[in-house]
């Protein structure tokens, strides 16, 4: 049971890193306020490749795709909130933060349902 749980956590971590790095790559490439860096692009390629390999080689249990999508969205929102806090000229980070809290509550509720079953 713990081996399957470790696999699940790895998939969720890769989905979270992919969300962080896709928003970081987008900001680095298309935002004039955020300085350019190759590291988000490299992280995006590696995380997406690892997530794809995990998808090809292992079956996902019931409920895992929706949790992985939620972790992906959480990564996108977290990076957006961090960048907006660092560079206030972009805008307020209120909406990404509120959405992030809502996604975290949804993840916790789904995680409890998965643990109980």
- What's the whole-number mean pLDDT along residues 87-96? 90
pTM: 0.89
| CA–CA dist 95, 80 (Å, integer) | 10
Is pLDDT of 1 > 80? Answer: no
- Residue 62, pLDDT score: 83
More confident residue, 4 or 96: 96
| Residue 22 · residue 77 · CB < 8 Å | no
Q: How far apart are the first and last CA of the chain?
A: 13
**Residues with Cβ within 8 Å of residue 76, at least 6 apart in sequence:** 19, 20, 22, 23
| CA–CA dist 115, 92 (Å, integer) | 36
Please give the mean pLDDT across all residues of the chain.
90
- Alpha-carbon dihedral angle through residues 56, 115, 47, 72, given to the nearest 10 degrees: 110
Listed as own residue / partner, the contacts of 32-40 with beta carbons closer than 8 Å and 24 or more positions apart are 33/87, 33/89, 33/90, 34/83, 34/87
Is pLDDT of 46 > 90? Answer: yes
């Amino acid at each position: 049971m713990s081996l399957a749980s470790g696999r699940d956590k790895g998939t969720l971590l890769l989905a979270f890193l992919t969300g962080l790095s896709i928003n970081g790559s987008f900001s680095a490439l298309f935002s004039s306020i955020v300085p350019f860096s190759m590291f988000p692009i490299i992280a995006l390629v590696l995380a997406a490749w690892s997530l794809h390999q995990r998808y090809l080689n292992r079956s996902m249990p019931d409920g895992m795709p929706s949790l992985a999508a939620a972790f992906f969205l959480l990564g996108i929102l977290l990076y957006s909130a961090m960048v907006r806090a660092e560079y206030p000229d972009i805008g307020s980070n209120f909406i990404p933060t509120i959405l992030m809290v809502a996604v975290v509550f949804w993840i916790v509720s789904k995680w409890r349902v998965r643990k109980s079953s």
